[in-house]
Structure 1
Amino acid sequence: MLVVSEETCRKVVTRENAFTAIEGVFAAMAAGEACNFPVIREAIGNADALYGFKSGFDRKNGVLGLKSGGYWPGNEKRGLTNHQSTVFLFDPDTGRPHAMVGGNYLTAIRTAAASAVSIRHLARKDAKVLGMLGAGFQSAFQMRAAAEQRDFERVIGWNLHPEMLPRLAETAAELGLPFEPVSLDRLGAEADVIITITSSFEPILMRGQVKPGTHLACMGTDTKGKQEVDAELVAAATLFTDEVAQSASIGECQHAVAQGLIDKADITPVGAVVNGKHPGRTHDDEITLFDGTGVGLQDLAVAALAAEAARSAGLAAEIDL
């Protein structure tokens, strides 16, 4: 069995090859060539942590496995990443373990790749202002990936805890873009693309704050009860997601579904746009929303990429169980 460390994952998995892997797995899902299995995600009653499993099988690429991990909100104070996870890959022909891969970096880069896929396929071509709602660990990954999809001229941002906004400013400076902290009203009125990446259980951005033509990538809601944007905003948008079942049950769309504002049939897999089976955005004034719930197949895709790249480069340890 291969063992691939977090450090090695950072060396071999880039934004470019992660984007390709995630775009490909979304396409495979939409074509019925890959499937996710039901998610297990529970509060464990310790350290306010959420813990669970995401798993699936990509028949097209022969990738079978699971990600085990969750969210520990106190980790940042300990100098650790709040999201902790490990990916396990298995030989689909025999069931034997193939690889154990560090999942923290991969979770961040695959989440950013997912929103980047949505921006490439759904945002207006003339989008110039990137809005960031949230300034946690994953925000830097999100901004870097988004900046490669459109010719943004500036970045604006908001965070519940303003003392964290320097992370956004530093990342924008790294990208050569000016950054300005703004109110939620200004964020919605000025941004052409908005990425939400928080752990909120209450809506932050409301329908009346978002201008026509905006593309939203809602990336923080992956658990029952979480919510980043108003249900009425969800209902007003043309909706896309990684997986419809998760979107309606644990994603950003869960609240609009529960309130009867939308139906599952109103949500389209983004892979259908990638495959050319759905037109995506149809006019410049349309609000599009990608509900990035985070599916196990995303984790497996980048873990398989990491395992093969590490093996080829001689950077993976090999052990017998």
Structure 2
Amino acid sequence: MSNEKDGSVVIVTEEICQKVVDRASAFTAVEQVFGAMAKGDAYNFPVIREAIGYADALYGFKSGFDRVGGSLGLKSGGYWPGNAEKGLTNHQSTVFLFDPDTGRLQALVGGNYLTAVRTAASSSVSIAHLARKDAKVLGMVGAGHQSAFQLRAAAEQRDFERVVAWNPHPDMLPKLGEVAKDLGLDFEAVSQEELGAQADVIITITSAFEPLLMADWIKPGTHIACMGTDTKGKQEVDAALLARATVFTDEIAQSISIGEAQHAVGQGLIAEGDITPIGAVINGDHKGRTSEDEITLFDGTGVGLQDLAVASVAAKLARERGMAQTVML
């Protein structure tokens, strides 16, 4: 996205983001930036993420630079667990984009919808490159705000026939079931163990701090996208599962420090060298899945470059379509 000569700043609201960024454009943006990261053409800066000691909130910054895409900036925001009671999403964030040639602020972009759509695009990219082609059953662990985005994006990558789901709060499952119905997929609420026995692809999208799926429950050939663990201490699956699986991630540094792999690495079950950036598969430098029986696992920690990539698309399209507000600072 190039800035106007007059140095105006583009403001893209949540509503406009939803109008200009669809699943296809988010998928392409995230896939491209993962490839750029693996080539060393894009890199994330160290993440700041802190419990602020107020409202049980986690707050922080994710930032980076994509030399190829020309995206420089940061996402500021976090997780406020009490927001649902206020009619707000728990995740709240804003993306700031800067001109890499001058350092001037280019855009302020609403980050809530984009966080959900880029997270769904990330797991969707992993399914596209790692899941078996004949996958028929999708397992969903989690039924919160982001689960619908995950389900819709995943459904576009394989010819799924049914969805099996589990959530810590079962009363939230019918809403996810409506999404499956809208996609023409059968839906069934099942136990965690039954989900592992049936699913060919599993997406975990929770804020859990303990394993929800055990290694012995997962059948050969399954692809798992772990999308909820993005903070030290969080965990969604048994650490032993990563030892059984071939592990891929968005960024290794985050995977071993705040991602799902933190526990397996900490227990000595796998080493940093056992984890492959998914960008290497996208670029053709790694084969990805090598057999029908191989269990593949994608540790989607969520990197700042994902946010910058989709926010850049939102700002570019909003400006081109005359849908953005502009201000002078």
The alignment status of 1:163 with 2:179, answered yes or no, reads no
1:113 alignment partner in structure 2: 121
RMSD: 0.5
| C-alpha displacement of 1:151 | 0.2
How many angstroms does 1:242 deviate by? 0.2
Show CA shifts across 1:12-64 (max 9, x none).
Answer: 00000100000000000001100000000000111111000000000011110
In the other structure, the counterpart of 1:87 is: 95
Equivalent residue, structure 2, for 1:314: 322
- Structure 1 moving runs of 4+ over 6 Å: none
Partners of 2:209 and 2:290 in 1: CA distance? 31
* Equivalent position amino acid for 1:38 in 2: P
- Aligned letter for 1:292? G
Residue of structure 1 equivalent to 2:43: 35
Structure 1 unmatched runs, 5+: none
Alpha-carbon shift at residue 166 of structure 1 (Å): 1.0
Corresponding letter in the other structure for 1:250: I
Question: Could you give the per-residue CA deviations for residues 216-263 of structure 1, whole angstroms, max 9, x where no partner exists?
Answer: 000000000000000001111100000000000000000000011111
Q: Could you tell me how far 1:76 is from its partner in structure 2?
A: 1.0
Q: Could you tell me which of 163, 181, 190 is aligned with 1:182?
A: 190
Amino acid at match of 1:96: R
Identity of aligned residues (%): 74
Query: Partner of 1:281 in structure 2?
Result: 289
For residue 301 of structure 1, what is the amino acid of its counterpart? Answer: A
Shift of 1:193: 0.2
Structure 2 runs not aligned, ≥5 long: 1-8
What CA distance in whole angstroms lies between the structure 2 residues aligned with 1:53 and 1:130? 32
Which residue is 2:161 aligned to? 153
Q: Which residue of 1 aligns with 2:6?
A: none
Normalization by structure 2: what TM-score? 0.97
SS in 2 for 1:115: helix
Q: Which AA in structure 1 matches 2:217?
A: Q
Q: What are the residue-to-residue correspondences of 1:115-154 with 2, within 5 Å?
A: 115-154=123-162
- Which residue of 215, 221, 224 corresponds with 1:213? 221
Equivalent-residue separation in structure 1 for 2:207 and 2:69 (angstroms) = 32
Cα distance, 1:160 vs structure 2: 0.4
TM superposition score normalised by structure 1: 1.00
Report what 2:299 is aligned to.
291
Q: Which residue of 1 aligns with 2:237?
A: 229
1:64-83 counterparts in 2 under 5 A?
Answer: 64-83=72-91
SS in 2 for 1:93: coil
Distance, in Å, in 1 between the alignment partners of 2:86 and 2:135 is 38
Q: CA deviation at 1:288?
A: 0.2
Cα distance in 1, alignment partners of residues 255 and 175 from structure 2: 29
For residue 261 of structure 2, the aligned residue among 244, 253, 274 is: 253
* 1:55-70 aligned within 5 A: 55-70=63-78
In 2: Cα distance, 1:280 partner to 1:89 partner: 33
